[in-house]
Chain A
Amino acid sequence: MIPLSAYTAVSAVLFMTGLLGVLVRRNFIIVLMSVEIMMNAANINLVAFSHYLESMAGQLVALFIIAIAAGEAAVGLAIIIVVFRGKISTNVDEMNLLKW
C-alpha cells in the first residue's frame, strides 16, 4: 500500500518543475506547457486525496480542471498566433504591446 504522502511528494516535485518552467523559459509556448505541468500536479493531488479519503468530489474537480485547461490552451494559443502575426517574436521578454 502506497502512502498518500508519496503521491503528494510526486505532485510537489512536478509542481516545482512547472513553476520553474514558467519562471525560467523565454518561449511563450513552453511557458504554457509548464502551466499544463502544474495543472497535472494539482490533478494528481486531487485524485490521490479523493482515493484515500473515500470521496468522489476530488475526481470531479480534477475533471473540471481538465476542461479549464482545454479552454486555457485554446485561448492562449490563439493569443500566440495573434502576437506572431504582428511580426513580434514569441519571446516573453520582447512582448510589450500593452505596455504604456
Chain B
Amino acid sequence: MVGIFFTYFSLVSIAAGVLTVTLRHPVHCALSLLVLLMHVSGLFILLNAEFLWAVQVIVYVGAILVLYLFVLMLMNLKTDERYFHPSALYILGPTVLGTGYVLYLFLQSPFSGAKGDTPAAAVLQDGDTYAVGIKMFSDHLLQFEIVGIFLLGAIIGAIVLAKAPKPLDTERERL
C-alpha cells in the first residue's frame, strides 16, 4: 500500500517537474509547479512528517506560489517564440549523464549510519509537531532566531525594491 502511494507521488512529482520546465506559457508552468509541490508534500506524509506537510501546503502552495501567480498576472508576459536557450541540447546531455551516474551510485550505497535519538515510534506517539517543536526550541533556537532576522530583512528588501520611485525631478523643476 505504501509502495503504491510512493510510486504515485514520485512519478507525478517528476512528471510535474518536467512539465514545469518544458511548458511554454508561464502560468501553465506555475500550475504544474503547484502539482509538484502538492505531491512532494504527499511524500512528506509517507515519511511521518505531518508538520512539514502542513508547512509545505500552507507556505509553499498558499504563499509562495500565489506570489508567483500574482507577479505573472501583473506583468502579462508575452510568450516568446524561442523559449529555450539556443544551446539547450549541449546542456541536456551532460546533465542527464551526470544525474544517471549519481543515481547509479545512490542505488548501490546502503546509507547506513549512526542513528539519532528520535525513532519512528517516538514520533508517532506524540506527533511530529511535538517532536519538531521540542527539538527546535531546545537545540536549534539560535537558527530559529536567525531565520526570523533573515525574513525581516527579506521583507524590507522586497518593499524597498518594489516601491514605485518618487517623481523627484518634476518637483525640483517646479521650484
A binds B: yes
Write the residues of chain A forming the contact surface with B, with a CB cutoff of 8 angstroms.
1-2, 4-10, 12-21, 23-27, 29-30, 32-34, 36-37, 40, 43-44, 47-57, 59-60, 62-64, 66-75, 77-82, 84, 90-91, 93
Across-interface contacts of A20 in B (CB, < 8 A): 21, 91-92, 95
Across-interface contacts of B117 in A (CB, < 8 A): 54-56
Across-interface contacts of A24 in B (CB, < 8 A): 21, 84-85, 88, 91-92
Q: A74-B67, A91-B80 are in contact. List 10 more A-B contacts (CB 8 A).
A: A10-B10, A10-B14, A25-B83, A36-B37, A37-B21, A40-B37, A43-B56, A54-B119, A70-B59, A84-B75
Q: Give Cα A70 to B68, complex, Å.
A: 11
Write the residues of chain B forming the contact surface with A, with a CB cutoff of 8 angstroms.
2-3, 6, 10, 13-14, 17-18, 20-21, 26, 29-30, 33, 36-37, 40, 43-44, 46-49, 51-52, 55-56, 59-60, 63-64, 67-68, 71-72, 74-75, 77, 80, 82-85, 88, 91-92, 95-96, 98-99, 102-103, 106-107, 109, 111, 113-120, 128, 131-132, 135-136, 140, 143, 147, 150-151, 153-155, 157-159, 161-162
Asked if residues B106 and A57 are in contact (CB atoms below 8 Å), the reply is no
Contact pick for A14, options B13, B26, B77, B80, CB 8 Å:
B13
Q: Which chain A residue lies CB-closest to B154?
A: A71
- A-B pair count, CB < 8 Å, reads 227
Q: A2-B2, A12-B99, A40-B37 are in contact. Are A25 and B17 (CB under 8 A)?
A: no
Q: Which chain B residue lies CB-closest to A81?
A: B162
Asked if residues B116 and A30 are in contact (CB atoms below 8 Å), the reply is no
Q: A47-B49, A90-B75 are in contact. Are A13 and B21 (CB under 8 A)?
A: no
